[in-house]
Structure 1
Amino acid sequence: MTLDDWLNLAALILILIGALLCLTAAIGLLRFRDVPTRLHAATKPQVLGLILICLAIALSVRSWEVVAFLLPIVLIQLATAPLSAHMIGRQAYRNGTIDEPGLYVDDLGDSRRTPPAAGG
Structure 2
Amino acid sequence: MRNKALVKVEIIRSTTNGKIISYKSEGHAYYDEPGKDIVCAGVSAIIFGTYNSIEALLGIVSKHTIHAGFFRVDIPERIDPKTFEQVQLLLESMVVMLNSIQESYGEFLTIKETIR
Structure with bigger gyration radius: 1
TM-score by length of 1: 0.36
**As a proportion of its length, which structure holds more strand?**
2
